[in-house]
Every structure is written in C-alpha cells, then in structure tokens.
Structure 1
Amino acid sequence: MTIADMLRQAAEEDGDRTALVCEGRRWSYAALWTAARGAATLFRESEARYVALLDGNGEAGVIALFGAALAGLPFAPLNYRRADAEVAALLDRIAPAWLIAGDDRAAWLGAAATVSSAAAFVAAAQAATPSAVESDGDDIAVQIFTSGTTGAPKAALLRHRHLLAYVAATATPAKAGAQEGSLVSVPPYHVANVVAVLTAVQARRRLLVLPAFAPEAWLRLAEAEAPTYAFVVPTMLARILDHLDGDDRLASLTALSYGAGPMPPALLERALECFPDVRFTNAYGLTETCATIASLTPEDHRAAFASGDPAVRARLRSAGRPLPGIEIDIRDTAGIPLPAGARGEVYARGVQVSGEYRDRDARDAGGWFATRDLGWRDADGYLFLAGRADDVIVRGGENISPGEIEAVLLTHPAIAEACAVGLPSAEWGESIGAALVLRPGHAAPEPAEMRALVKARLRSSHVPERIAVLDSLPYNELGKLLRRDVRASPLLRTASSL
C-alpha cells in the first residue's frame, strides 16, 4: 500500500466531494485523482528519477505528491526561499528531476532540469492519459532536505510505510462531515505540510490551501471557507491574533494544532483565552520522525490551563506524551537511559520513525533515533524540551542548556520571550548572553534582578553575563528561533556585562 491508495479510495467512495480549494479553484476527489494519474504518466514517460517542487502551496504540489507516488518516484519539495545557487546545488543532487517551479524561476532553471511552471504542469497532468501504475510501500515517498544550519542540507527519506503509520496513529476513525475543512498554510517543503495533506485526504476533509502565509490572507480564507481545523507555527499564531481585532472570522474553527518551534507561554495562554471552545494540540516531531511523535492533547491543554497546581500548569510548556506506536527515551551523553526528571537527549523509536538519510541510516542497532533535542520527562511521562544539543553553551568546560535558563527567565511577569546563547569569552570559552522581549505594558526589569532570578533557581555558572531587551526575537518562516542572529545582535554584544 502507498499514500496514493488514500486518494484512490477517496475518489472511489466520495468522488464528487470537494477535496481541494486553492485561490477560488475547487477540485473534487475524482478530479484530483485523475490529475494525479495523469501526472504519473508524465513522470514515467520522462527520464526523471525525482519529482521536485520549487513553489508555494497550490494544487500543483498536491497533484505532484500523489503523481510521484503512483510513478514510483520520490517527491522532493525544495525551499523556494533559498538562493538560486543553493537551489541549483540541490537539483544537482537529485538529477535528473522533473521540476515544478514558480513562474518567476521556471525560465532560469530550465537549463538545469526538466522544468514546467505550476500552471503548465497542472494543465499537462489533466490532459495526459491517466496511469494506474503504483509503487511499493517500502519505496521512498518523500525526500526533504533539512535546513542545513550547520552544513550542507541532509536528505531525509520518508517511505510510504512511515507516512501511512503516521496517518494511522493520528487519523480519527470517523469520516469528516462535508463541511469540515483543513486550512494549510505551512510551506510545502516542511513535513507538516505533507502530513496535513495526507490526513485531510484520509479524513475526507476539504483541503484549504493558502499559497503563502500572511495573517490577513489567512483570515480571509478562513472567513470564506470556514475551516474546522488548522495547523500553525507559533509566529503565525501570534500574527493571526494581532489581526483578529475581536471579530468572529474564526467562529468555525474547532481544532488548532501548533508546532515546529517553541510556543511562548504568554502567547499560548492568550490563544486559550481567545478561543475557549477550540481544541488545541501541541505537535512535537521532526522530519526524520515523519512529523509528530508526541502531542499535548486538547484535554491536557484545558486541564493544565485551569489547574492551580504548578506541576500540572507547567504542562502547558510540555510537548505532551508519545503517540501510539512511539517510544521515547531520555539518554545521557553515553547513551544510557535516564530516569524521570533527568535531562538528556531525546531518542525516539517506532514504525513511523525513519531516521534515514540518503547516505546512511542514523538509527542505532535497536532502532532508536537520536533527535539532537534536549529534554526531560516528568513522573507522568510528559516530555519537556530544552533546546537543541547543538545549541549547548560550553562555559569553562561545563555544558549548559539554554532552555534551562530560558525557562527561568520566562517566569518573570514582564518577560514574554527569552533566548539564551553562548558568546565568545577569552576567560571561559563561552559566556552566557540573554535576549528578552517584554510583555505589552511592562517595563524592563533591571539586569541584576534577572540574574538574581536565574541564580536562585540554577547554579551561578548559568547566570547570564550580558542581558539585552529586544523588540522581537528573530524566527524563520516556520517559527524556529534563529540563535545565530541573536548571537550577532549588537544590543546583546554591547550590553553591560557582570
């Protein structure tokens, strides 16, 4: 079985039902299936070994995803925000590829690969003779190039069986009503987009596709199509809330998932207050784990939000507990499992966990994948994350997790966001800097007060030597904090030190 079987079954059982809405264009499941089969014919008749997408959200990407599955080729969505030279380097790694590119880049890239614009590809797929050839469940369905913040992007592989296992673990057993819809605004080169498409098709929800995120465009689509479900990253949620102005354009929304980056506690509490009837889910996962492996459920959110017990309330900052079929371990630097409460690296194992790159399988002999995320679990199994292992600050030979410091800084009532980073130090190798963002209406606390707060909760070695208040923290389009930009901040580098 492959991911294409989900679309085939939907077309056979609910062919007339609306499957996809994009910029006013509406596709039934039957029409989408026919186009995917036509795309498979195009791919199979070419010499392509990959199907690549270099464009924003749209019907072309959805058709290409399922068409590639039918043709037995990996679907490789590329980050369209990369520079042309970086894109060319990635194309060299997947040549020969059939590339679907935005109109502004299709002509430039024409010499590098078989290229068609999104509109031309969709028209050709609709006109082609439908193909019925399918691939095997162990074939590679999707290849996603990771962000490559510490080197060349790695090619993470997701096979059909990984994606199907994810859908099986997260799908609701009942078919969605015809009025239900999923609003998708995450870029197509992110695994969250891929699984959002698949879970919508599995549930027979309308897939409401926003070509590129902007808060007003997101809200206009929500007002026009009345989605019942959406996935956002924290920065998207903040911008949506800022543009709501107390109106009821999201009255149809019943469920909201978030992930791909840490959620500031103040933002989450604001959202829970703004949408008291919406079911919130925190989804934690990586590309290599085929998206979500742990989630904080709607019930967890409301119980924690209403609780007066600090330990229960703290779960709003957690990633929740493992999905069915997923095991999570916390291990020390030697790979030894740690007990509840102890901090270490997060490991994951399960049928949906790939842990595979184009050049190697990164799982150990027991099938465990090291996520490179740091964290710990409480006594009830809730997972708390403490940043990336690569972000560890090494001060005087001591490894310090920035997440520990940030969690303490965020307990101050004036602080909305916090970021701790390592700064060059002739004495210690690295010293600790902290960038803070204030809650609206609050004055900046004195650096000495913030240092005393950290010293009271953690060791003196964890106290920030430089503290600066910024207007905002830098995030990428998926809500990931850009620590390298914080490190380079002139305000932080010139802040008074201890």
Structure 2
Amino acid sequence: MSVSLLLEMAVSADPDRVAVVDAEDRFTCTQLRALSDGGASVIDQSGARSVVYLGVGGAMLPLLIFAAARARRPLTPLNYRLSEKSLSELISRLPDPLIVVDSEYLSRVSPGRNVMTSADFLASCSYADPMHDVADAGDVAIVLFTSGTTSRPKAVELTHSNLTSYVIGTVEFASADHSEAALVCVPPYHIAGVGAAMSNVYAGRKIVYLPRFDPREWLRLVEAEAVTAATVVPTMLDRIVSVLETEPQDLSSLRTLAYGGSKVSLPLLRNALDLMPDVGFVNAYGLTETSSTVSVLTPEDHRIASSSADAEVSRRLASVGRPVPGVEVQVRAGDGSVLAPGETGELFVRGPQVSGHYQEIGSVLDEDGWFPTKDVAMRDDAGYLFLGGRSDDTIIRGGENIAPSEIEDVLVEHPLVHEVVVVGVEDREWGQIIVAVVVPEPGADPAVDDLITWARTALRGSRTPDRIVFRDQLPVTSTGKVLRRLIVEELEAAPSVKR
C-alpha cells in the first residue's frame, strides 16, 4: 500500500473536511489531494530522483509527503538548524534531489542545485497537471537522517509498507469526529512529525501546525482551535507546565496529550498530571527505524499508576507502556539469549513497521527480522517496558556496568533539582567515574554534599556520583534529547569539577 492512498481514503470519507491549518492557511482533504497531485507533477518534471525539504514544516510537510509519494520519489526533510556545510554533506548523499526550501533558509543551499522555494512549489502545485501514480509498497517513501551526535548521521530508509503498517496498525480509519483537532509542533525532520501528518489525515482529524514552538502560543491555539489532541517533547512539556503554574488556561477541549522523543522526569510528569487533571496523558516510545511509535503508556495506565498504592503498579508511571499491535519485543542478553521479565538487556523489536534499513549500509535486521534498538530495557511481569537509556551511554566504573538513568531517577526527585543528566568521564583509576550534571530549580542553590547524601540513601556506594557540577541548562536537540557526548567532551576538557 502506498502512503498516497491514506490521503485518497481520507478524501473518500469526508472530502470537505479541513485537513490542515497553518496560520492563516486552511486546506480541505480535497484541496490537499489536488495540491499533492499537482506537486507530484512538479517533482516529476524537475527530473529529480529524490526530494529534499528544508524548512520549519507546517502544511508543507503533508503536502510534500503525499506529493513525493505520488511521484514515486523518496522525501527527506532536513534539519534547518544545521550549518550550510552539514546540510551540503547530507544533500550530497541523496540522489539528484529537488530541494524545496523555505525562503529564509535559501542561503544555506549551495548554488547550482535543483531548488525551489516553498512558496514557488506551492504556487506551481496549483496549476500543474495532476499526476496520479501509485508507488509500490516496497519503494522507499521517506529517508530521515539520524541525529549523528556521536557519529556520522545514518540515512534511515522507510518504505511505503513500513509507514502504512504503522498508521493502519495504530489508528482506526476515519475514527475522529468533526470536533477533533491535533496540534503538531514537532519538527518535520523528526519521525514523529512525519507520523503525525499521515496518521491524523487517515484518522480524519484536523491538523493544526505550530512550526515554531512557544508555550503561550501553544496554549492559545489549544483554545482557539478547540484542540483535542497534541504531541510534545519533554522540553516543550516543561515550558508549558511552567506557564500553567502561574497562568491557568482553559484546556477544556484537550483530551489527549502525548509526550515522547526522550525521557520525561517523574516530578515533571506528576506536576503536569496535577495541572491538567482532565487530560489523558500518553507516553509514546519509538525510533526513526521503527516508523515512529512501538510502545505506549495509555491514559488509563497513567491514572492507575499515579494513584496506586502498590509499588509494582505505581512504578509503571516511569515505563513506556506496552507494545502497540503488530509489534513484538524481546529483551536480550549480550550473548543473544532472550531474558525473562525483570532482567535487563538490549531491546529488540520486530514487525511490519520496522525498517532497520540504512542507505549505504543496508539492513541491520537479524535473520529473523529483529531490529537492535541499542536501548537498555527491562519488561515487568505484566509486559510493561522500562528503558534504561542507550547502551552506548552505559557507565563502566571499576568493571561495573551502571545505567545513568538509575542515578538520574534518584537525583531528579530532590526538591532543589530541576533537571539532571549523569555521564561517565574517563578516569585513570576507575576507567570511568560518575558525574552528575544538575540544573537546579529556579532560585535554588543545592549543596553538593546534600545531593550526594540524597543519592546515597537510595543507591549503593558504587552508584553514588563521584562528582556533581551545576549548569543553568542542559544542551539538547530540538526534540529534547540531551547531548551527552557534548557534556562529556566539555567535562573532559575542563576536569576541575566540584565533588
């Protein structure tokens, strides 16, 4: 099945429904299809073998997703925050691309490329002859580059089959009523942005775009557009909560708030649950290679865990829930054996939405189709999945493997700690030592000794931080992932940190 058929089905169900809202622009399902069909013709006539989008997103993202699918060319949204050099390197790895770029980023594209501004592309779509081709299920639909914070970015290839399997497996067709609207503010080059565009069109839910996140504008749009569902990354949730603490808002329309992309601290989550008691929270875990979400902690899971007196049940608030339909998971030991519930190892996933295929590298699936996520994980007896961070982030201190998340979960509960990340720094005696980088609560000045004592009450001595340093903020990606390698590099370049 082709990605373009998702839009066809939406048109057949409700052709005049508003599909996309982007500032003053509003497009019905029929208008979006007409523009996509015209866009396919523009792409085909350009002679390009692939399509690149460089911009903040909004309506351009679903338009290009469906237009590229019609033209049977893969689409690659790129991170507009990258330097001209980095962008040039990534673009050079794509076959004969047509580059569609928001005008403010035009200067970052090297001369001599096959380039159109987003405005020109949109205008051309309106008068181009429609093209109604349908891609094969096995064709590559989307290529996304991994963040590349520790190595050369890898180009993940997602086929039409991968993406439509994700959408059909997690969303019921035309299940949304006319009152439903989804507020999308994740960037277009993130798999969550791609997934949101397809799944909301398929569900029949109006998509309201906020390309540049601002917490007050986010809250205003929730009320103005009667938003019923939204997706945020942890840094966005933190900023929304900060506003709500001092400026209560009318969120009566909001039924579901999904969060993901990186770990959310329990104090922040509890605060959000208290401030938005009528909102159903969803923790969605997935990867680029899995076409988005593979595991979900549902609103009911949140309610039960947050109110339970049973320690085994309440701790599930820190989990990423259970696998979505069609996805299988295994936790494996280093020798490849499958571990029992309660044991910690590497998470492997399998299912039709899982790609595991990279440009220039090929497939990394094993012979049975399992993808190694590189995430440390554990499943409890009820099948809830707990993540312990990336396997690459594991600290090896004196020969003992230590998951940073175990220490972070303890320190972040200290009343004077707002955020914390724990990393391993090279040490001549221990191999690595444990360094906790702490962002205090506003106006707070926690003492190092108090934090060490706090950690020691819950952790054995070998897992207590060797050093603690303070920062005003943590370096993060646009999707909220902490740049651990950057922190380590800074610490190793300036080792005189406080104990």
> Normalising by the residue count of structure 1, what TM-score does the alignment of the two structures yield?
0.95
Q: CA deviation at 1:473?
A: 2.7
**Structure 1: where are the runs of 5+ without partners?**
none
Q: CA deviation at 1:489?
A: 5.2
**Structure 2 residue 408 is matched with structure 1 residue 406:** yes
Report matched runs for 1:322-337 at 5 Å: 322-337=323-338
Q: Larger deviation: 57-66 or 457-466? A: 457-466
Cross-structure match for 1:436: 438
Report matched runs for 1:113-192 at 5 Å: 113-172=113-172, 175-192=175-192
The CA deviation string for residues 328-386 of structure 1, in whole angstroms up to 9 with x for no partner, is 11112222211111111111111111111112101101111110111211121111111
Letter paired with 2:183: L
CA distance in 2, matches of 1:85, 1:217: 33
Does the CA contact (< 8 Å) of 2:13 and 2:174 recur in 1?
no
Q: 1:278 to 1:491 in 2, by over 3 A?
A: farther
Q: Larger deviation: 435-444 or 174-183? A: 435-444
**Structure 2 residue 431 is matched with structure 1 residue 421:** no
Q: CA deviation at 1:104?
A: 2.4
Cross-structure match for 2:96: 96
**Structure 2 residue 13 is matched with structure 1 residue 13:** yes
Does the CA contact (< 8 Å) of 1:57 and 1:212 recur in 2?
no
How many residue pairs get aligned? The number is 496
CA distance in 2, matches of 1:148, 1:273: 36
Letter paired with 1:356: H
Q: 1:27 to 1:366 in 2, by over 3 A?
A: same
Cross-structure match for 1:27: 27
Give the 3-state SS of the residue equivalent to 2:188 in structure 1. Answer: coil
Q: CA deviation at 1:444?
A: 1.8
Q: CA deviation at 1:310?
A: 2.1
CA distance in 2, matches of 1:118, 1:195: 21
Q: 1:371 to 1:213 in 2, by over 3 A?
A: same
**Structure 2 residue 303 is matched with structure 1 residue 302:** yes
CA distance in 1, matches of 2:251, 2:495: 42
Cross-structure match for 1:386: 388
Give the 3-state SS of the residue equivalent to 1:151 in structure 2. Answer: coil
Report matched runs for 1:16-55 at 5 Å: 16-55=16-55
Q: 1:105 to 1:473 in 2, by over 3 A?
A: closer
CA distance in 2, matches of 1:44, 1:341: 53
Does the CA contact (< 8 Å) of 1:468 and 1:492 recur in 2?
no
The CA deviation string for residues 390-446 of structure 1, in whole angstroms up to 9 with x for no partner, is 111122333322112222333444434321111121212211111223446766254
Cross-structure match for 2:249: 248
Q: CA deviation at 1:461?
A: 2.5
Q: CA deviation at 1:270?
A: 0.9
Cross-structure match for 1:87: 87
Does the CA contact (< 8 Å) of 1:100 and 1:106 recur in 2?
no
Does the CA contact (< 8 Å) of 2:290 and 2:354 recur in 1?
yes
Q: Larger deviation: 214-223 or 40-49? A: 214-223
Does the CA contact (< 8 Å) of 1:373 and 1:386 recur in 2?
yes
CA RMSD of aligned residues (A): 2.0
Give the fraction of aligned pairs with identical amino acids, expressed as a percent.
42
Does the CA contact (< 8 Å) of 1:60 and 1:119 recur in 2?
no
Letter paired with 1:125: C
CA distance in 1, matches of 2:218, 2:174: 27
Give the 3-state SS of the residue equivalent to 1:380 in structure 2. Answer: coil
The CA deviation string for residues 195-234 of structure 1, in whole angstroms up to 9 with x for no partner, is 1011110111111011221223322322321211100001
Q: 1:284 to 1:398 in 2, by over 3 A?
A: same
Letter paired with 1:43: I
Letter paired with 2:313: V
CA distance in 1, matches of 2:19, 2:388: 39
CA distance in 2, matches of 1:407, 1:150: 24
Letter paired with 1:240: I
Give the 3-state SS of the residue equivalent to 2:347 in structure 1. Answer: strand
Does the CA contact (< 8 Å) of 2:174 and 2:204 recur in 1?
no
CA distance in 2, matches of 1:255, 1:410: 26
Cross-structure match for 1:338: 339
Does the CA contact (< 8 Å) of 1:183 and 1:230 recur in 2?
yes
Q: 1:37 to 1:334 in 2, by over 3 A?
A: same
**Structure 2 residue 204 is matched with structure 1 residue 215:** no
Does the CA contact (< 8 Å) of 1:55 and 1:80 recur in 2?
yes
CA distance in 2, matches of 1:49, 1:150: 30
The CA deviation string for residues 439-480 of structure 1, in whole angstroms up to 9 with x for no partner, is 467662542x54455445444322211012333333221010
Does the CA contact (< 8 Å) of 2:61 and 2:194 recur in 1?
no
Does the CA contact (< 8 Å) of 2:425 and 2:491 recur in 1?
no
CA distance in 2, matches of 1:452, 1:443: 16
Report matched runs for 1:217-232 at 5 Å: 217-232=217-232
Q: Larger deviation: 211-220 or 19-28? A: 211-220
Does the CA contact (< 8 Å) of 1:444 and 1:469 recur in 2?
no
CA distance in 1, matches of 2:493, 2:455: 21
**Structure 2 residue 233 is matched with structure 1 residue 233:** yes
Give the 3-state SS of the residue equivalent to 2:10 in structure 1. Answer: helix
Does the CA contact (< 8 Å) of 1:48 and 1:96 recur in 2?
yes
Cross-structure match for 1:468: 469
CA distance in 1, matches of 2:249, 2:321: 30
